[in-house]
Amino acid sequence: MKKSILLVKSLIACSILFISCNDDDNDLKCAEDVTGELTSNEINFTGKWTLKSVVSEDEIDLTDDEIDNPSTDLFAQYTDCSKDIVYEFSDNRDYAFTGGMTAIDCDNEQEITGTWGLNESSGLIIVSNCSTQLTQIEVNDESTAFSTEGNLKYVDVNGNVINTTTTFTYEKSIE
């Protein structure tokens, strides 16, 4: 479902602060990659993180199944391709975001790479495509899941626009 892919793209756009390239004096200056030794929090954070939950404050019906069944569990309404979202954070500070790469017959495959870091205030810093992105995350005590939330707009199956806070949760894969 293209709406769900757009939802994930909206999360990236809505929950992230973009700092774009500087064009002073017509010289293109891109954001510098994140470098340096990993902190202990960053060491615990390295690994593969898969989208496992999308929950909204308000009930929404995203599925065009001719049944009126709104729910706050948006993940259950996603297609397999829309659920196929993975972040991978390496110990050399490289990162990759993939969408629709392992599910079968996905039309909107995505792969974005760059560098990453965590700041002291639970901010996930990603540098990619000449920009820096900062997303506030909450990592659980066991460092096995992290969540981020944002206020997003959805269009339900009836064409209604719904503004609601949405929480995205990712679980760390056990290798």
Mean pLDDT across the chain: 87
Compute how many other C-beta atoms are within 10 angstroms of the C-beta atom of residue 67: 8
Report the C-alpha gap between 128 and 119 in whole angstroms. Answer: 17
* pLDDT at position 1: 45
* pLDDT at position 101: 93
Give pLDDT tens digits for 89-140.
Answer: 999 999 999 999 999 999 989 999 999 999 988 899 999 999 999 999 999 9
Task: Please report which helix (H) or strand (E) contains residue 10, including its range.
Answer: helix 2-14
Radius of gyration, CA atoms only, the chain: 17
Domains located in the chain, CATH noted: 2-21+28-172 (2.40.128)
Burial class, 87, CB count within 10 angstroms (exposed 0-12 / middle 13-18 / buried 19+): buried
